[in-house]
């Protein structure tokens, strides 16, 4: 029982220890303001990471999410500012487009048995390229709706605020947990990651599930893109480069096995928060370059992959 | 027990034929399974057992023949389709999902649910109840992978039966179980039988066949040899059906050689590995050929793997020249100057794309380490030497080995190890799949090697062959070295009666 949850527990322990270190150095880490900002700043990352967790749990990978986030931003900026589209309509449109995009990738992966890596790599270039077709400039979004949405926030005791986009992220996580652990779809995702052939023999609808997984991932990437556009109030073709890798890192640090089949959504939330924590620490520190975030994440990633290897080796031995 | 009289025919296979390019895997095979019957399906390598099962479960398409289930003609598209028709299969390697909980494994695809939300509590309750029927009391919320193979197999059986299986096919279910677990499994099979399920039981263990089967069908080389109730099939007859030879009236002529004496070159005492092979004693002297004989799955190849360090022994001690040694990896074995040509040339032996020369020097080069490359001239010398010595028929040493005939590939493999100047050589089925002429050459070669003072351990399914060149023959049965024959005892007939036991 303990061993089964060990990766998540280790992740949680790392987060707590990290938080205590930060707290010891900068007492203001206890303030709700810092915590609120931590959630807000990492909202888009968290939302994509939920989708990515499903993908990785199923034994796949989705490299296109960063590009989809950028495309969403550019699409919204062009649709709202250039064509005067209602922002809410634009949101629905882009979510639909992204879902179709993901379904297409899933279909390719399943029908032609192409590795997800290749298909989503193609998807990554395609979505990024489409950004430049729409515009090469950074377009600011000044729609009134944006102001209204970003103003929505819960005041937390102590001066912090839980912003709307932080709430969107937390709700996404709750829905993700329900989907992963309490539905047939969730069980099918784990089954796929456990052993695709066995899953198929056992009657798991492999094709349908694969398509839905990538559909969900692209849909959530678009949602993250919308959230990101609230955050930056602009659409820019070069935005969110490398986010797919940050996301994969968050998922793996969150205790999900890169080979699929094992992991949790809640672990991913902690993985995202650890990344945010390091970023915040470096901001507080002031003298360190922000690239130290990447170095710290790199080190953690190594440590977690070694831990996972060790654990699976140990569980094989114990059998 | 004579279920055939009272029970209706459940599964009826007539004239089943299936060919692959170059091989007739099944030729006009008939097979009848009754409800409430445990039917053993036996045969040696290449007999067609697995092809039969794969055609039955829709993995392969048949070329000709009919399959009737409950009188209806069926033709499964794939294993899932076969399952929905009522034919469930449980393989030795359990085809379930170790990362999911036991309950999910039992119910995936048909979980009790409300609008897509799984009713986990209900599912677990049903799973616990289902497994209780099999005498299994485990926490169904734990991942399947945390339980032993035996438990996993019972879960697989429970799943297949619960999915309304009328026919349950068990493909070597006991291969990795210990005696206690086999007992439990047999208890389950018997209770399933009393519920009217027809069970096809594929195994290599004769004791188990006699412990649980009602009827036995033997295949050989894709043909039906016979199908009989177990009560009318003595062991010796079963073995002769499987091996395809009658007890000969007169003893076969045997190459008489003086008995080899002296200190053993290699010796193994109480050497074994749990679940793989019971501990055995074995000694081979220089200039001596020791044969390993037994049915497929009896532990012959396992012996070779233990001796060569491919599997690590968990009991006993190995000696070379009387000194204790440790053989934990093939590297250790190679350092002690052991050589090993595996049974499956294509996947474990040759590197098809590399030339004959490269294949021959492979082991020698590996021994030297990759940094000390053998000079090209020396490589050519060695390759040419062995091509001439072993009469490997190839236009030149640079031809990819995959293009050579089986016999010549086998010789090149032998050359690979001979090039390392081994003291002890293990040959696993050296004559399998090669033509008659090459066959005789390999045997002559074995005899010559041993005259030169090499110690040889040879595994073979051909009883006459193993009897003709071995000084001693170790007979294996059900993963045990049951008897060592020497001197005049070494004959195909004695080997066969020893395999049959009793």
Question: In this predicted model, which residue has the larger pLDDT, B352 or B278?
Answer: B278
Is the per-residue pLDDT at A75 higher than 80?
yes
pLDDT for A7: 78
Phi and psi at residue B453, to the nearest 5°: 100, 10
- The neighbour count for residue B90, using CB atoms within 10 Å, is 24
3-state secondary structure of B24: strand
Distance from CA of B392 to the nearest CA of A (A): 42
CA distance A251 to A262: 11
pLDDT for B296: 80
pLDDT tens-digit map of B70-121: 988 999 888 888 888 999 888 877 788 989 999 999 998 888 888 878 899 9
User: In whole angstroms, what separates CA B64 from the centre of its chain?
Assistant: 28
Residue (of A315, A245, A237, A318) closest to A275 by Cα position: A245
Residues 6+ apart with CB under 8 A from B499: B239, B293, B294, B295, B298, B475, B477
As given in the structure block, the two tokens for residue B456 are 């040889």
Nearest to B100 among A191, A197, A315 (CB): A191
Query: What are the chain B neighbours of A193 within 8 Å (beta carbons)?
Result: 99
Computed over every residue of chain A, the mean pLDDT equals 91
CA distance A267 to A118: 27
Element (H, E) at A285: helix A265-285
Confidence (pTM): 0.76
Confidence of residue A315 (pLDDT cuts 50, 70, 90): low
As given in the structure block, the two tokens for residue B221 are 């080389």
pLDDT for B17: 94
Sign of torsion over alpha carbons A99, A101, A104, A110: negative
CA distance A130 to B444: 72
Place of tokens 């199908």: B227
pLDDT tens-digit map of B333-360: 988 999 888 877 777 778 888 898 998 9
Torsion angle of C-alpha atoms A213, A215, A217, A222, degrees rounded to 10: -170
Q: Which CATH architecture has domain A2-314?
A: Orthogonal Bundle (1.10)
Q: Kindly state the percentage of chain B with pLDDT values over 70.
A: 94
pLDDT for B252: 43
3-state secondary structure of A21: helix
| Length reported for chain A | 319
Confidence of residue B4 (pLDDT cuts 50, 70, 90): very low
**Which range, of A176-190, B87-101, B316-330, averages the lowest pLDDT?**
B87-101
pLDDT tens-digit map of B9-62: 899 999 999 988 777 889 999 999 999 999 999 987 778 888 899 899 888 899
Question: In this predicted model, which residue has the larger pLDDT, B461 or A112?
Answer: A112
Domain residues of chain A, as ranges? 2-314
Is the per-residue pLDDT at B2 higher than 60?
no
pLDDT for A133: 94
Computed over every residue of chain B, the mean pLDDT equals 85
Phi and psi at residue B220, to the nearest 5°: -150, 130
**Total CB pairs under 8 A between chain A and B:** 73
Residue A312 buriedness (CB in 10 A; 0-12 / 13-18 / 19+): middle
Residues 6+ apart with CB under 8 A from A98: A68, A72, A218, A219, A221, A222, A225
Confidence of residue B437 (pLDDT cuts 50, 70, 90): low
Question: In this predicted model, which residue has the larger pLDDT, A192 or B235?
Answer: A192
Q: Which of residues 167-206 of A touch B (CB under 8 A)?
A: 182-188, 190-191, 193-195, 197-205
pLDDT for A4: 66
Query: What are the chain B neighbours of A4 within 8 Å (beta carbons)?
Result: 142-143, 146
Query: What are the chain A neighbours of B111 within 8 Å (beta carbons)?
Result: 184, 187
Confidence of residue A179 (pLDDT cuts 50, 70, 90): very high
Torsion angle of C-alpha atoms B137, B138, B141, B142, degrees rounded to 10: -170
**Which range, of A294-308, B254-268, B488-502, averages the lowest pLDDT?**
B254-268
Question: What ipTM does this complex have?
Answer: 0.84
Question: In this predicted model, which residue has the larger pLDDT, A49 or B176?
Answer: A49
pLDDT for A243: 94
Domains within chain B, CATH numbers bracketed: 3-243 (3.40.50.300), 248-337+423-502 (3.40.50.300), 348-421 (no CATH)
Q: Cite the beta strand spans of B193-236 per DSSP E.
A: 198-202, 215-220, 223-229
Read off the pLDDT of each residue in B294-321 and give the average, rounded to a whole number: 90
Residue of B nearest to A315 (CA): B146
pLDDT for B250: 39
Q: Cite the beta strand spans of B86-214 per DSSP E.
A: 87-91, 113-114, 117-118, 167-171, 198-202
pLDDT tens-digit map of B376-426: 898 999 999 888 888 888 888 888 888 887 778 888 888 888 888 889 999
CA distance B118 to A183: 5
Nearest to A198 among B97, B120, B143 (CB): B97
The answer to whether residues A48 and A269 touch, using CB atoms and an 8 Å cutoff, is no
pLDDT for A2: 55
């Amino acid at each position: 029982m303990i061993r089964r949850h060990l990766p998540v527990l280790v992740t949680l322990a790392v987060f707590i220890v990290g938080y205590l270190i930060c707290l010891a150095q900068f007492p203001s880490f206890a303030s709700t303001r810092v915590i609120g900002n931590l959630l807000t700043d990492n909202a888009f990352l968290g939302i994509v990471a939920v989708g990515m967790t499903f993908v990785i749990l199923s034994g796949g990978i989705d490299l296109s999410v960063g590009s989809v986030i950028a495309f969403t931003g550019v699409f919204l900026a062009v649709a709202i500012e250039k064509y005067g589209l209602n922002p809410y309509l634009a949101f629905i449109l882009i979510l639909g487009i992204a879902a179709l995009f993901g379904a297409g990738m899933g279909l390719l992966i399943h029908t032609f048995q192409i590795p997800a890596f290749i298909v989503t790599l193609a998807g990554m270039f395609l979505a990024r390229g489409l950004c430049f077709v729409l515009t090469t400039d950074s377009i600011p979004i000044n729609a009134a709706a944006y102001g209204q949405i970003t103003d929505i926030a819960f005041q937390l005791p102590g001066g912090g605020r839980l912003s709307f986009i932080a709430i969107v992220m937390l709700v996404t996580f709750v829905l993700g947990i329900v989907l992963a652990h309490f539905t047939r779809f969730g069980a099918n995702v784990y089954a796929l990651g456990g052993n695709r052939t066995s899953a198929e023999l056992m009657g798991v609808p492999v094709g349908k599930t694969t398509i839905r997984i990538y559909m969900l991932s692209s849909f959530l990437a678009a949602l993250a893109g919308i959230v990101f556009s609230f955050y930056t109030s602009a659409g820019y073709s070069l935005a969110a480069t490398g986010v797919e890798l940050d996301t994969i890192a968050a998922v793996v640090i969150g205790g999900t096995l890169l080979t699929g089949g094992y992991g949790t959504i809640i672990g991913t939330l902690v993985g995202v928060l650890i990344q945010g924590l390091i970023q915040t620490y470096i901001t507080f520190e002031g003298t360190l370059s922000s690239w130290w975030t990447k170095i710290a994440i790199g080190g953690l990633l190594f440590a977690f992959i070694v831990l996972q290897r060790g654990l699976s080796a140990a569980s094989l031995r114990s059998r | 027990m004579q279920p055939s009289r009272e029970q209706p025919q459940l599964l009826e296979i007539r004239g089943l034929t299936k060919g692959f390019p170059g091989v007739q895997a099944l030729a006009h095979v008939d097979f009848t399974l009754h409800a409430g019957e445990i039917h053993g399906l036996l045969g040696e390598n290449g007999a067609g057992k697995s092809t039969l099962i794969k055609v039955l479960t829709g993995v392969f398409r048949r070329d000709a023949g009919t399959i009737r289930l409950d009188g209806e003609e069926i033709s499964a598209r794939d294993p899932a389709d076969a399952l929905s028709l009522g034919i469930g299969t449980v393989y030795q390697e359990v085809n379930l999902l170790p990362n999911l909980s036991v309950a999910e494994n039992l119910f995936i695809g048909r979980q009790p649910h409300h609008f897509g939300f799984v009713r986990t509590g209900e599912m677990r309750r049903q799973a616990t109840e289902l497994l209780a029927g099999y005498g299994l009391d485990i926490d169904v919320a734990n991942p399947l992978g945390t339980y032993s193979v035996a438990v996993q197999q019972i879960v697989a059986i429970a799943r297949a039966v619960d999915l309304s299986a009328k026919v349950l096919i068990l493909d070597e279910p006991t291969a990795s179980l210990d005696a206690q677990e086999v007992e439990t499994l047999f208890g389950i099979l018997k209770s399933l039988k009393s519920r009217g399920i027809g069970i096809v039981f594929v195994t290599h263990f004769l004791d188990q066949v006699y412990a649980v089967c009602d009827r036995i069908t033997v295949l050989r080389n894709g043909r039906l040899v016979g199908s009989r109730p177990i009560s009318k099939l003595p062991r010796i007859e079963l073995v002769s059906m499987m091996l395809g030879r009658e007890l000969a009236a007169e003893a076969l002529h045997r190459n008489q050689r003086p008995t080899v004496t002296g200190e053993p070159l290699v010796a193994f005492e109480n050497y074994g590995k749990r679940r793989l092979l019971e501990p055995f004693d074995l000694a081979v002297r220089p200039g001596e050929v020791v044969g390993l004989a037994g049915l497929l799955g009896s532990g012959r190849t396992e012996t070779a793997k233990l001796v060569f360090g491919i599997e690590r022994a968990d009991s006993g001690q190995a000696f070379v020249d009387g000194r204790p040694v440790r053989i934990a990896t093939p590297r250790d074995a190679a350092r002690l100057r052991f050589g090993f040509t595996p049974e499956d040339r294509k996947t474990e032996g040759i590197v098809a794309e590399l030339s004959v020369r490269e294949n021959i020097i492979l082991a020698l080069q590996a021994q030297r380490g990759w940094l000390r490359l053998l000079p090209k001239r020396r490589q050519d010398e060695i390759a040419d030497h062995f091509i001439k010595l072993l009469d490997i028929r190839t236009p030149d040493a640079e031809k990819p080995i995959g293009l050579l005939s089986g016999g010549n590939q086998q010789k090149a493999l032998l050359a690979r190890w001979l090039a390392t100047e081994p003291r002890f050589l293990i040959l696993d089925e050296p004559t399998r799949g090669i033509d008659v002429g090459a066959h005789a050459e390999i045997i002559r070669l074995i005899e010559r090697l041993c005259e030169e003072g090499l110690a040889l351990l040879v595994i073979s399914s051909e009883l006459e062959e193993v009897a003709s060149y071995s000084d001693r023959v170790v007979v294996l049965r059900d993963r045990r070295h049951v008897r060592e024959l020497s001197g005049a005892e070494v004959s195909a007939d004695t080997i066969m009666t020893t395999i049959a036991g009793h």
